[in-house]
């Protein structure tokens, strides 16, 4: 009974080598066919210097005495006989690995899986890591110099490996995953110099159909907006209109939804890009953003006097679900802004660049879909609303873009000749 193995060593320095049992050959019985399919990968750390430093070996493992299974014991003795060319004591002691060489079978310490009796199964991954002769880097410059400042308030270092030290101290908690809800239960939370804002990705997106989450998001973000406009007059136009995010962030959400959902009704919201972003200075893009905000969140805007949106909840659930995927995106943007409130213009140009790409992409997509549907689209060039922010139809309209409202699909229109009140009333009737 033989097995063919392929050994692979990493280059030059002893880091890792892997060996893969490719096939078995020999006299078969029923059990052997099981073996035939067995694949194992062995990875060694810091040991191939003992084996001629050859990177790839193709060898045959003979199972002894008609054994049916390949165990770690067999493998080790085979490696010792066939593979280790010099100083086998660096790798083995007796018939096992020497202390200091860690053996893992499928990322699990082999002590848990039976040590030498561990049976190697198909696609097993075996790792040997030498903690003894891993070569360190050249000494650090500071290691040659003594400590220059008196006694340190730290406990003297413990001997042993890090995992041993941690375990000895009783504080080890392997593989602990901290759920977001658990995060605030830690005890030691003093010394905070300011209230910590909620994280941008934690604001009830997708958790339910309650719109409060959006409301609070808005508040948070308008905080940002005002902060920014406060520090630099350049951005004054953001602040007044409910905050930078209120505009940018959600407008952009609608854009994405338009893209992902492919819903024709959303075209209007990608229209906002055309609305002012491409061909205008910094002020005008904000008009574009503002339009976008009108999207699905108009109803939730705390300042919105026009009541809840008419869409049914099922739609909102799906909206929220899609939104959640986008939250990551904005979480990162928000973090960046957080770190960067002052360098915002640079970030803004980055954002615009990004939108440029995605906006074009989705705009094209939507136009294509609409053409198929036979919907005619108008030019998207559109002056910002009276306050540079609210278009007549985009933002806080009682009908979102989702009621299949043709006006919106066709893109924002200039205001009718009548007063604004009339516009809303008409809409409400419809």
Partner 1 sequence: MPVFKTPFNGYSVKFSPFYESRLAVATSQNFGILGNGRLHVIDLSPAPLGPGVPRQPITELVSYDTADGVYDVAWSESHDSLLVAAIADGSVKIYDTALPPASNPLRSLHEHTREVSSADYNPTRRDSFLTSSWDDTVKLWTVDRPASVRTFKEHAYCVYSAVWNPRHADVFASASGDCTLRVWDVREPGSTMIIPAHELEILACDWNKYDDCCIATASVDKSIKVWDVRSIRVPISVLNGHGYAVRKVKFSPHRQSLIMSCSYDMSVCLWDYMVEDALVARYDHHTEFAVGVDMSVLVEGLLASTGWDELVYVWQHGTDPRAP
Site for partner 1 in 183-202 (CB under 8 A): 183-184, 186-194, 196, 199, 201
**Least distance (Å) between residue 183 CB and partner 1:** 5
**Least distance (Å) between residue 88 CB and partner 1:** 22
Rule CB under 8 A: say whether 305 interacts with partner 1.
Answer: no
Quote the Cα angle for 412-418-421, to 5°.
80
**Closer to partner 1 by Cβ: residue 12 or 373:** 12
**Least distance (Å) between residue 222 CB and partner 1:** 20
Site for partner 1 in 146-165 (CB under 8 A): 147-149, 152-155, 157-158, 161-163, 165
Rule CB under 8 A: say whether 288 interacts with partner 1.
Answer: no
117 backbone dihedrals φ, ψ, rounded to 5°? -90, 0
**Closer to partner 1 by Cβ: residue 230 or 313:** 230
**Least distance (Å) between residue 335 CB and partner 1:** 7
Contact window for partner 1 (CB under 8 A) among 14-22, 210-218, 288-296, 387-395: 14-22
Residue of 334, 337, 242, 325 whose CA lies nearest to 290: 242
| Rounded Cα distance, 353 and 132, in Å | 51
**Closer to partner 1 by Cβ: residue 169 or 417:** 169
Which residues lie across from 126 on neighbouring strands? Answer: 42, 105
67 backbone dihedrals φ, ψ, rounded to 5°? -65, 150
**Least distance (Å) between residue 232 CB and partner 1:** 12
Contact window for partner 1 (CB under 8 A) among 104-112, 217-225, 265-273, 316-324: 104-112
3 state DSSP class of 89: helix
Site for partner 1 in 319-378 (CB under 8 A): 328-329, 331-333, 335-336, 338-343, 346, 350, 354
Rule CB under 8 A: say whether 99 interacts with partner 1.
Answer: no
**Closer to partner 1 by Cβ: residue 163 or 426:** 163
Torsion over CA: 137, 142, 144, 146 (sign): negative
Q: How would DSSP label each residue in 234-255?
A: GGHHHHTTT-HHHHHHHHHHHH
Site for partner 1 in 54-93 (CB under 8 A): none
**Least distance (Å) between residue 372 CB and partner 1:** 28
| Rounded Cα distance, 187 and 198, in Å | 18
Q: Are 63 and 70 in contact (CB under 8 A)?
A: yes
**Least distance (Å) between residue 156 CB and partner 1:** 8
Q: 330: which residues sit within 8 A by CB, 6+ positions away?
A: 200, 201, 245, 249, 252, 253
Rule CB under 8 A: say whether 181 interacts with partner 1.
Answer: no
**Least distance (Å) between residue 175 CB and partner 1:** 3
State which H helix or E strand residue 334 sits in.
helix 313-340
**Least distance (Å) between residue 124 CB and partner 1:** 14
Among 94, 141, 305, 374, the residue binding partner 1 under the rule CB under 8 A is 141
Rule CB under 8 A: say whether 166 interacts with partner 1.
Answer: yes
**Least distance (Å) between residue 347 CB and partner 1:** 8
**Closer to partner 1 by Cβ: residue 131 or 303:** 131
State which H helix or E strand residue 43 sits in.
strand 40-45
Strand order in the sheet with 2-9: 56-62, 2-9, 17-25, 40-45, 124-130, 101-105, 108-109
Site for partner 1 in 26-55 (CB under 8 A): 43, 45-46
Torsion over CA: 313, 315, 318, 324 (sign): negative
Site for partner 1 in 111-140 (CB under 8 A): 127, 129, 131, 134-138, 140
Rule CB under 8 A: say whether 315 interacts with partner 1.
Answer: no
Show the site string, 197-236: x = touches partner 1 by CB under 8 A, - = not.
--x-x-----------------------------------
Rule CB under 8 A: say whether 392 interacts with partner 1.
Answer: no
Residue of 155, 143, 140, 103 whose CA lies nearest to 125: 103
Among 94, 99, 179, 374, the residue binding partner 1 under the rule CB under 8 A is 179
| Rounded Cα distance, 180 and 182, in Å | 5
Among 27, 142, 374, 429, the residue binding partner 1 under the rule CB under 8 A is 142
3-state secondary structure 134-161: CCCCCCCHHHHCCCCCCCCCCCCCCCCC
| Rounded Cα distance, 284 and 278, in Å | 9
Size of residue set near partner 1 by CB under 8 A = 85
């Amino acid at each position: 009974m033989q097995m063919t193995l392929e050994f692979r060593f990493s280059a030059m320095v002893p880091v890792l080598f892997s060996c893969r049992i490719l096939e078995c050959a020999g006299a078969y019985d029923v059990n052997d066919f099981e073996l035939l399919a067995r694949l194992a990968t062995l990875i060694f750390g810091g040991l191939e210097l003992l084996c001629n430093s050859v990177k790839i070996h193709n060898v045959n493992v003979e199972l002894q005495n008609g054994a049916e299974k390949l165990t770690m014991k067999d493998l080790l003795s085979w490696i010792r006989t066939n593979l280790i060319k010099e100083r086998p004591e660096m790798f083995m002691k007796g018939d096992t690995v020497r202390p200091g060489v860690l053996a893992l079978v499928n990322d699990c310490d082999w002590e848990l899986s039976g040590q030498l009796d561990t049976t190697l199964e198909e696609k097993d991954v075996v790792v040997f890591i030498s903690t003894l002769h891993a070569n360190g880097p050249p000494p650090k410059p500071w290691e040659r110099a003594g400590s220059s400042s008196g006694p340190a308030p730290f406990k003297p270092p413990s001997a042993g490996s890090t995992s041993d030290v941690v375990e000895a101290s009783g504080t080890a908690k392997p593989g602990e995953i901290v759920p977001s809800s658990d995060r605030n239960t830690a005890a030691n939370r003093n010394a905070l110099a300011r209230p910590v804002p909620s994280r941008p990705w934690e604001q009830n997106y997708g958790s339910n159909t309650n719109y409060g989450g959006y409301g609070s998001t808005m508040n948070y973000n308008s905080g940002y907006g005002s902060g920014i406009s406060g520090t630099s007059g350049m951005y004054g136009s953001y602040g007044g209109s409910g905050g930078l995010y209120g505009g940018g962030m959600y407008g952009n959400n609608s854009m994405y939804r338009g893209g992902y959902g492919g819903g024709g009704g959303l075209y209007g919201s990608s229209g906002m890009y055309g609305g002012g972003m491409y061909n205008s200075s910094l002020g005008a893009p904000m008009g574009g953003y503002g339009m976008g905000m009108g999207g699905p969140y108009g109803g939730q805007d705390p300042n919105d006097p026009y009541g809840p949106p008419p869409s049914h909840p099922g739609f909102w659930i799906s909206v929220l679900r899609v939104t959640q995927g986008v939250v990551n995106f904005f979480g990162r943007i928000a973090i960046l802004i957080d770190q960067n409130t002052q360098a915002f213009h640079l970030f803004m140009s980055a954002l615009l660049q990004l939108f440029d790409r995605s906006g074009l992409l989705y705009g094209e997509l939507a136009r294509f879909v609409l053409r198929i549907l036979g919907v005619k689209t108008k030019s998207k060039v559109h002056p910002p609303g009276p306050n540079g922010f609210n278009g007549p139809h985009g933002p806080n309209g009682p009908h979102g873009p989702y009621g299949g409202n043709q006006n919106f699909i066709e893109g924002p229109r200039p205001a009718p000749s009548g007063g604004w009140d009339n516009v809303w009333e008409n809409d409400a009737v419809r």
